[in-house]
Structure formats: C-alpha cells, structure tokens
Amino acid sequence: MTTTYPLHSHFTRADQAFPTHADVVIAGAGIMGCAAAYYLARRGLSVVVLDKSRIAGQQSSRAWGFVRQQGREAAEVPLMMASIPLWKELERELNFDLEWRQGGCLYVATDEEDWVAFQQWMDVARQHGLDTRTLERRQIDTVVSGMQGPALGGLYTPSDGQAEPRRAAAAFAARAAEAGALFFEGCGVLGVERAGGAIAGVVTERGMLRTSRFVCAAGASSWKLLGTLGLELPQQAVRGTCMRTNPLPAITASTFWGHGLGIRQRANGAINLADDMQVDVDMTLGHFRALKWFLPELWKQRGKFSFHLNGACLRDLRERLAGGALDEARVLYPRDPQPQPNAGHAPRALAKLRALFPALKDAQVVEAWAGLIDVLPDGIPVIDAPSQVPGLTIATGFCGHGFAMGPIVGKLLAELNDGGRPSLDLSAFRLGRFFDGTMQRPRSML
C-alpha cells in the first residue's frame, strides 16, 4: 500500500476513525466534491470525502475566480444562471468571507473576429434571458477606468461576479464537516467494488468502505478512476499560469478579458492576472491516449497552446515501466502535483497591464502559480449518472471554468444521489455523448 498523507485541515482530526459504511462516498475534495458533501450532509445523508492529496489542493484553489455566465457554451448557461443566486447567498449561508463581488464581467474586442463572436454570442444570451449587452467604447469606460487601448466594442453581463478560489472550497468543506461529513486527506481511491454491476463499495488506502453511491469528482485523475470501472473518458490536462499583483489603484469591480489579459481586481486592489488564455502542455505518452478526440480543435486553436517535452515525460515513462496501466501506482499518480508557473507569463502580462492602464505603472507580480486544468474535447464537463454502473455519479472535465459552477453542481450531485432526479436538464453533459455521435464541437477549448 502507498503511504497515506497526514491530515492537514483544521476541521479534520488525525485520530478520526475510518468508517466502514457511508450513504455516499466522494472521490475528490475540490469545490465540486466539497459542495456536494455540504448539500448531501444537509439532507441528512452520511458522506465520506476522500482525496489522495488534500482539500482544495489542486485546480479549485488555483482558478482565476471569475463567476460568469457570459461567454460559455450554450449548454452551461442554465447551470450558471442557477448558480449566480447561490453565490449571492453563500457568504451568509456558509458564514465565510468568500470575497464575493457582483461587479459584472466585461470582454473587450480589439479585432473584428472577436467582435463578430461577441455579437453572435448575444443570440445565446437572448435565448436564455441573460442581462448581457454589447457596449460601445464610451460605455466600456464606465465599467473599467483608464483603459488606453483600442476597442471595437465590449460584451458585458452585469449580474456576473467574482470570488476567491482559495476560500470557497474550504468553506464548503468546513460547513459540510459541521453537518457530519467526514473528510480524509491523503487517502486515495484505488478502485470500486461492484455487485450485480452496481456500486457496492470503494477500495481505499485505508481499507474497504461499503456504499451504494459513489461520486467521481477527481478532476484530472477522473479518467483513471473511471477506467477501473471499464468506462472511457477522453480527458486530458493542461497547465495554466496565474499571477497576483501588489495592491493597486481601483480600475474595475468587473472581471475583465481583453488585450491579451485576464484581470480580476480584488477589493484590496490586488489583481489576479493571466496572460490571455494561453496554456502549457507538458507532453507525455498519455497525451496520445485521446488525441483523436482533440485533434480537430487543437489544430484550429493551436495558438493557445505551448507544447513542452520536459521532466513530465520522463516521470510518466518511469511510472509506466513500474507497473500496469491501471494498477495502484498509476491510479494515484501523481499523488500531489505541483505544476510550476510559466516564467515567461509574468513579464509579458505586466508589460501589457502597464501599457493598457497607465495608472497601474507600479504593478508588480508578488505571486505566481499554476494549476492542472482538466479538459474534454467539447469544452463542457461530464455531469452524469451513467446507467451502465448504477450508483455511480460523475462530475469532471470542467475545462478551466468550473469554479463558478461549484455551488450548482454540488446541489445537482446531491439531488442525483438523494432521489435521483436533478432539478436541471443534464442531458448535454452525458458521458455517452462522446460515443453516440451527439458531441458538439466547442466554440473554444478553454
């Protein structure tokens, strides 16, 4: 057995007894798993959350922090429209400062291609009754102050907001624990036991845990866990870099994307900054596993990706030589990935920021980090209870924009595992879409 990690979080205890049974077992303590645990525990179910690393240790705490309905694939819009009211009440409900601000979301078009895309997306907004509108340059200046660059126009959704990723998942976990959910960090799921095809138990690093309901919310590791059940998921991971600046003069309460920058200014003036939507791909043999699914869009949007042949490839080869494709080591690897930020992003993003907003001439990057973004070929997640494995629920593949969906997905997972009927239509998020010809090509892969 692989050595388990110590418990780190202040609301778990190192001497906490490991249970033998739970109504629902969740693999993955990111925002989806923690939110699901909260809503399930509030319904009176016994819940155990397992994570091979730690609570909110991966992408859920490394996101930009945009809480947006704007610019999404059409299938996601109803979920986000249901998520915004939840976000508006979360600080009160969880009694936790989440740095929630409902200042809108602004995209700025600097070329004709973006401007046409914004206008086309207005059809989606109108279809769902969103408050999104297009802005002229003079209107953009009322949302963001002191921008010096050109703009053909803007896309703006006033009801969108922002929150701090380092707080949200932890808040859900803390309140879930108070409601009776049990969290075990450093305790990975090795496999799932079935009886008559249905979920019967979860094999963990601490032993067997009997359950009839298992939620796979394991982020970029989900494809491995599903593989132990004989289910294929065409999931890959890319590395995204984000930075934070020193506190700066206020320029906007809105989240912002344009001129090659992603910007979220927090209430204290510090800016979460991203160099456009550029991501890195650390090549391994695993990237060839689902290449056929990604290749059409990957070529079309190749400018967003930077490919690297580095230590990740050597580590992958070592693991493959050590054992079979889905043995214990492979299911748990990497145990606690610590992706490194792309060092080239900070100077490039800072130069753009200072040029675009002269008032921010004193901007400095004080922190940079990276996260592993789990992506699927059509740019939307799998949220499903596939009929071929009764008792299994899947929530994964959020493609870098899942943080904002955390509350509503957690609520939907609770509904699926306590009654079986979700309050929203999830047919677009079926796992089976990849195999029955119903998958739709995305507007954007990120």
pLDDT tens for 191-244 read 999 999 999 999 999 999 999 999 999 999 999 999 999 999 999 989 999 999
Residue 3 has pLDDT above 60, yes or no: no
* Band of residue 279 on the pLDDT scale cut at 50, 70, 90: confident
**Do residues 37 and 31 make contact, with C-beta atoms less than 8 angstroms apart?**
no
pLDDT tens for 131-143 read 999 999 999 999 9
* Band of residue 2 on the pLDDT scale cut at 50, 70, 90: very low
Mean pLDDT of 325-348: 81
Residue 325 has pLDDT above 50, yes or no: no
Q: What is the pLDDT of residue 278?
A: 78
Q: What is the pLDDT of residue 298?
A: 66
Mean pLDDT of 79-103: 98
Strand 133-135 with 189-195, pairing = unpaired
Mean pLDDT of 72-93: 98
pLDDT tens for 173-199 read 999 999 999 999 999 999 999 999 999
More confident residue, 122 or 283: 122
Mean confidence (pLDDT) of the chain = 90
Distance CA 212, CA 190 (A): 17
More confident residue, 53 or 279: 53
Q: What is the pLDDT of residue 8?
A: 44
CA proximity to 377, closest of 250, 312, 292: 292
Q: What is the pLDDT of residue 317?
A: 63
pLDDT tens for 53-63 read 999 988 999 99
> Domains in the chain, ordered, with CATH?
24-434 (3.50.50.60)
* Band of residue 445 on the pLDDT scale cut at 50, 70, 90: very low
Q: What is the pLDDT of residue 300?
A: 67
Q: What is the pLDDT of residue 387?
A: 95
* Band of residue 1 on the pLDDT scale cut at 50, 70, 90: very low
255 — phi, psi (to 5°)? -70, 155
* Band of residue 335 on the pLDDT scale cut at 50, 70, 90: confident
pLDDT tens for 375-412 read 999 999 999 999 999 999 999 999 999 999 999 999 99
Query: HEC states along the chain?
Result: CCCCCCCCCCCCCCCCCCCCECCEEEECCCHHHHHHHHHHHHCCCCEEEEECCCCCCCHHHCCCCEECCCCCCHHHHHHHHHHHHHHHHHHHHHCCCCCCECCCEEEEECCHHHHHHHHHHHHHHHHHCCCCEEECHHHHHHHCCCCCCCCCEEEEECCCEECCHHHHHHHHHHHHHHCCCEEEECCCEEEEEEECCEEEEEEECCEEEECCCEEECCHHHHHHHHHCCCCCCCCEEEEEEEEEECCCCCCCCCEEEECCEEEEECCCCCEEEEECCCEEEECCHHHHCCHHHHHHHHHHCHHHEEEECCHHHHHHHHHHHHCCCCCHHHHHCCCCCCCCCCCCHHHHHHHHHHHHCHHHCCCCEEEEEEEEEEECCCCCCEEECCCCCCCEEEEECCCCCCHHHHHHHHHHHHHHCCCCCCCCCCHHHCHHHHCCCCCCCCCCCC
R_g of the chain computed on alpha carbons? 21
Distance CA 279, CA 272 (A): 16
Residue 287 has pLDDT above 50, yes or no: yes
Strand partners, 237: 374
Instruction: Please give the C-alpha separations between residue 241 and each of 12, 368, 438, in angstroms, as whole numbers.
Output: 30, 7, 32
What's the whole-model pTM score?
Answer: 0.91
Distance CA 266, CA 70 (A): 20
Q: At what angle do helices 406-416 and 165-178 cross, to 10 degrees?
A: 30
